[in-house]
């Protein structure tokens, strides 16, 4: 069963919460973060993407960057921008985007649960990305990025969280520049804290990583290193846990994660379209972008025209991986005709989160830098759970969750 704990969160004073809050470090470039943080000395990008305070040509994985992050975090604490909770607490974090709300519990989850498979994964991690977060955690002595977890709804947990929101005022309540609202409550009464801890221990057999595989993996590796070096002497050591926000599955929505490819691998447009007929029902649908409307349906943009591709029966299997649209696309188009065998490393393919819309696909292809774009129907949360339960992993860049948790609102010190 899931082991979660309250913790002494490091968080901004109320008047500065909106200025501190920053998008996750891995969804934007250093240049974009620098632009967003311009004129805002309180932005958490100074911690999560501290290269913005260094010369533009700095190696973003150099120790100087991590040292700068640690210095900036210390400064925020020293000048009172951030303060640490005086007693362990849970936090309720509600996000509203385009009228849709999702409410999660901010806590620390046990590294042991991650290592033992109670916290389930659905993606491979890359060693270079792990090392970046390892160095960031070890230098700052903080987990500054949140791991987004999901779980199958437990009515008692949902009811408790709803009741707390109704009976208590939030500590933060603001709308960010992108229109997403962020509201946070602190749960610090001993009775409520114990009830939450017990409910998860008794009612939640597993949690699932929705977003943040590298953050989770790095927390585990840091804990292992500290333990091997004799620096963890108690089961209550903060490094035995990592920062998570856990959402009930019923409230979550996964967005599409689309692809663009640089060329047709030597094929003419006519030959490429002819090949697609073997595995798809292909229909030209005009100049206007159209989203896929169901599983196993794709839309494709090529030379100014949109096409609808519907996978024929027999082109995919019914196992948790084979039934995924990302697998169908990979097996029947990307690898078979476009020569893309490893999407994680091939520079001829790029991935576009659905939050950017189909116009981003049009923009990329019309620029001439990319030849063809594919729009996919989103993976469902149940598909994610099924794959994680089976012990398999999804193909790269299969899921895109929105809205994103903001960094800086709650940090876990180790």
- List domains and CATH numbers for the chain: 4-253+402-413 (no CATH), 257-377 (3.30.1760)
What are the angstrom distances between the C-alpha of 144 and each of 21, 139, 147, 219, 265?
11, 12, 10, 11, 42
Q: Does residue 52 have a pLDDT over 80?
A: yes
At residue 360, the pLDDT reads 95
Q: How many residues does the chain have?
A: 414
Question: In angstroms, rounded to a whole number, what is the distance separating the alpha carbons of residues 317 and 71?
Answer: 52
Neighbours of 296 (CB within 10 A): 18
Over range 295-317, report the average pLDDT: 94
Question: Rounded mean pLDDT of the chain?
Answer: 94
Least Cα distance to 140 among 63, 230, 240, 52 occurs for 63
**pLDDT confidence of residue 117:** 94
- 129: helix, coil or strand? helix
User: What is the Cα–Cα distance from 19 to 46, expressed in whole angstroms?
Assistant: 12
33 CB neighbour count, 10 Å cutoff = 23
Give the C-alpha separation, 92 to 306, whole Å: 43
**Res. 396: pLDDT tops 80:** no
Residues 243-260: what's their mean pLDDT?
94
Which of helix, strand or coil describes residue 198? helix
| pLDDT tier, 124 (very low <50, low <70, confident <90, very high otherwise) | confident
Calpha distance 380→371 (Å, rounded): 28
Q: What is the pLDDT of residues 331-351, one digit of tens each?
A: 999 999 999 998 878 899 999
- Distance (Å, rounded) from C-alpha 333 to C-alpha 326? 10
Quick: pLDDT tens for 171-184.
Answer: 999 999 999 999 99
**pLDDT, mean of residues 36-62:** 96
Alpha helices, H only, 185-278: 190-203, 213-228, 269-276
């Amino acid at each position: 069963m899931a082991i979660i704990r309250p913790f002494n969160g490091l968080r901004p004073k109320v008047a500065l919460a909106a200025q501190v809050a920053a998008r996750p470090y891995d969804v934007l470039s250093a240049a974009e973060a620098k632009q967003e943080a311009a004129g805002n000395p309180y932005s958490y990008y100074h911690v999560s993407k501290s290269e913005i305070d260094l010369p533009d040509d700095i190696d973003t994985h150099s120790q100087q960057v991590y040292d700068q992050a640690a210095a900036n975090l210390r400064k925020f604490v020293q000048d009172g921008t951030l303060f640490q909770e005086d007693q362990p607490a849970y936090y309720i974090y509600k996000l509203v985007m385009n009228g849709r709300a999702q409410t999660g519990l901010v806590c620390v989850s046990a590294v042991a649960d991650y290592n033992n498979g109670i916290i389930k994964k659905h993606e491979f991690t890359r060693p270079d990305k792990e090392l970046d977060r390892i160095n960031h955690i070890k230098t700052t002595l903080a987990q500054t990025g949140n791991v987004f977890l999901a779980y199958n709804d437990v009515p008692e947990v949902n009811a408790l969280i709803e009741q707390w929101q109704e009976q208590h005022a939030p500590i933060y309540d603001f709308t960010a520049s992108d229109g997403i609202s962020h509201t946070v409550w602190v749960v610090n009464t001993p009775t409520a804290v114990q009830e939450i801890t017990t409910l998860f221990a008794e009612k939640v057999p597993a949690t699932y990583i929705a977003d943040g595989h590298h953050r989770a993996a790095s927390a585990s590796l840091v804990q292992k290193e500290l333990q091997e070096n004799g620096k963890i002497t108690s089961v209550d050591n903060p490094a035995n846990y990592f920062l998570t926000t856990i959402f009930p599955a019923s409230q979550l929505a996964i967005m599409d994660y689309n692809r663009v490819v640089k060329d047709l691998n030597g094929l003419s447009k006519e030959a490429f379209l002819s090949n697609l007929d073997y595995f798809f029902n292909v229909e030209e649908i005009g100049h206007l972008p159209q989203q896929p409307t169901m599983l196993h349906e794709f839309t494709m943009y090529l030379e100014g025209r949109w096409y609808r591709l519907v996978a024929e029966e027999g082109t995919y299997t019914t196992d948790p991986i084979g039934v995924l649209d990302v697998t169908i696309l990979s097996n029947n188009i990307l690898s078979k005709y476009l020569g893309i065998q490893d999407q994680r490393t091939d520079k001829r393919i790029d991935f576009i989160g659905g939050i950017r819309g189909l116009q981003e696909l049009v923009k990329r292809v019309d620029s001439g830098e990319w030849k063809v774009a594919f729009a996919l129907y989103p993976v469902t949360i149940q598909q994610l759970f099924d794959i994680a339960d089976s012990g398999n992993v999804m193909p790269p860049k299969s899921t895109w969750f929105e809205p994103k948790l903001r960094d800086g609102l709650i940090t876990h010190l180790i």
